[in-house]
């Protein structure tokens, strides 16, 4: 895997590199280079291979770099972190940290991956996770407030991600309850929170963030909803993923600290400002029925408020999905 990472580092400039050149740099034969290239392509790494020229990525990419991320985060964020690991591939960054939590890993451990083989969103929906194209980031946190004290955390994390994106000039984002980040009704990012532990005692929280950065067209065909990405929104060919990871951690951990200390109250105004569903007709899909009405924001617990023909209703996070009615 170390040699494959070195090959990726060399090819990241988007220029052609011959098998002979790669072999000389890595101290291996051209046949060994070919075998590593073959394995990378089997993993889903898009690569141009042209006889007489060599190998290249279709465009230059910025690979994840733990040292670059550490150098860019704020000192107060750095003090909260137990470590940052950047992986070539993982089934899911959330799954990895859930396992690490069971093994006793400390609060503040961060996992990022270039690609996920089984990335997932809310309700175990597939999260399309092609190589070096987007941001797949998870952070492990430990809390003594219990699972019952974490209601509304996904809403807080959504606000945090939008605050982060505004630092990159993405000012048109909004929140679709409970955990989708949209721009003009196109999915840009999502939040997934996994919690294990006691209802009122110690628990481990894994906060996962997925942000579309530069989604390849071939991968986008597997996405089951309208989407957008940061390169499209910013008009850029290449987006600084390491800086994005650092700013995401800065905003995420600052917001979670505030939430743990003071609850959801301090985020309600921002949520209302970002809310893209308020005033729109929606369908709320429950396991046994669908409830229709007009979305009216959230209450102080983070529950969705809907005005129906039978009167006002509230729905708790995790029980429903919401779709705009055209």
Q: Is 124 left (phi over 0), alpha (psi -120 to 50) or beta?
A: left
State pLDDT tens for residues 154-207.
999 999 999 999 999 999 999 999 889 999 999 999 999 999 988 888 999 999
pTM over 0.85, yes/no: yes
Q: Is 122 a catalytic residue?
A: yes
Confidence at 9, pLDDT banded by 50, 70, 90 = confident
Contact 209, 157 (CB under 8 A): yes
Q: What is the CATH number of domain 277-324?
A: 2.30.30.100
CATH top-level class for 2-56? Answer: mainly alpha
Q: Which residues contact 100 (CB under 8 A, 6 or more apart)?
A: 109, 111, 140
Closest CA to 110 of 139, 136, 150: 139
State pLDDT tens for residues 53-87.
999 987 778 999 999 999 999 999 999 999 999 99
Helix axis angle for 19-26 and 30-42, nearest 10°, is 100
Instruction: Kindly tell me if the per-residue pLDDT of 322 is higher than 70.
Output: no
Closest CA to 176 of 197, 198, 161: 161
User: Tell me, what's the pLDDT at 21?
Assistant: 94
Percent of the chain with pLDDT over 90: 67
Q: CA–CA separation, 264 vs 86, rounded Å?
A: 31
Contact 31, 22 (CB under 8 A): no
Classify burial at 150, counting beta carbons within 10 Å of its beta carbon; exposed 0-12, middle 13-18, buried 19 or more. Answer: buried
Q: CA–CA separation, 314 vs 297, rounded Å?
A: 10
Domains 2-56 and 66-272 share a fold: no
What are the residues facing 284 on neighbouring strands? 291, 322
Mean pLDDT for the chain overall: 90
Segments making up each domain of the chain, as ranges: 2-56, 66-272, 277-324
Residue 242 is given by DSSP the state: H
Q: Is 187 a catalytic residue?
A: yes
Query: Pick the catalytic residue: 122, 142, 294, 313?
Result: 122
Confidence at 318, pLDDT banded by 50, 70, 90 = very low
State pLDDT tens for residues 119-157.
776 656 666 778 888 999 999 999 998 888 898 999 999
Q: Is 56 a catalytic residue?
A: no
Strand order in the sheet with 83-90: 83-90, 109-116, 135-143, 203-211, 186-197, 180-183, 173-176
Handedness of CA 154, 157, 161, 162 (dihedral sign): positive
Query: Pick the catalytic residue: 98, 187, 241, 247?
Result: 187
Q: Which residues contact 156 (CB under 8 A, 6 or more apart)?
A: 255, 256, 258, 259, 264, 267
User: Tell me, what's the pLDDT at 1?
Assistant: 62
Percent of the chain with pLDDT over 70: 93
Closest CA to 270 of 196, 168, 151, 166: 166
Q: Is 162 left (phi over 0), alpha (psi -120 to 50) or beta?
A: alpha
State pLDDT tens for residues 285-306.
888 888 999 999 999 999 999 9
Query: What are the distances in angstroms from CA 304 to CA 157, 184, 186, 283, 317?
Result: 16, 21, 21, 12, 8
Which tokens sit at 220? 């986008």
The domain defined by 66-272 carries CATH number 3.30.930.10: yes
């Amino acid at each position: 895997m170390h040699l494959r990472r070195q090959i990726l580092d060399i090819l990241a400039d988007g220029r052609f590199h011959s098998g002979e050149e790669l072999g000389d740099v890595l101290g291996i034969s051209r046949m060994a280079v070919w075998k590593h290239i073959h394995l990378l392509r089997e993993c889903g790494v898009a690569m141009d291979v042209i006889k007489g020229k060599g190998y290249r990525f279709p465009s230059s990419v910025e690979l994840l770099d733990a040292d670059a991320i550490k150098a860019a985060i704020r000192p107060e964020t750095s003090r909260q972190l137990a470590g940052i690991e950047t992986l070539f591939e993982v089934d899911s960054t959330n799954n990895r940290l859930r396992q690490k939590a069971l093994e006793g890993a400390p609060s503040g451990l961060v996992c990022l991956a270039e690609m996920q083989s089984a990335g997932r969103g809310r309700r175990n929906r597939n999260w399309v996770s092609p190589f070096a194209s987007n941001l797949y980031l998870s952070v492990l946190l430990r809390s003594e407030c219990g699972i019952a004290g974490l209601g509304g955390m996904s809403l807080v994390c959504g606000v945090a991600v939008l605050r982060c994106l505004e630092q990159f000039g993405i000012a048109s984002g909004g929140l679709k309850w409970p955990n989708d980040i949209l721009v003009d009704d196109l999915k840009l990012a999502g939040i997934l929170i996994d919690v294990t532990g006691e209802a009122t005692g110690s628990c481990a929280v894994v906060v996962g963030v997925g942000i579309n950065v530069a989604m390849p067209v071939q991968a986008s065909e597997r996405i089951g909803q309208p989407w957008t990405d940061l390169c499209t929104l910013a008009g850029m060919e290449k987006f600084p993923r390491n800086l994005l990871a650092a700013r995401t951690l800065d905003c995420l951990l600052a917001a979670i600290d505030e939430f743990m200390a003071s609850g959801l109250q301090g985020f309600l105004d921002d949520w209302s400002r970002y809310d893209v569903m308020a005033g729109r007709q929606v369908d709320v899909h429950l396991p046994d029925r669908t409830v229709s009405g007009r979305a009216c924001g959230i209450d102080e617990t983070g529950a969705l408020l809907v005005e129906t023909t039978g009167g006002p209703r509230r729905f708790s996070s995790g029980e429903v999905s919401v779709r705009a009615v055209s």
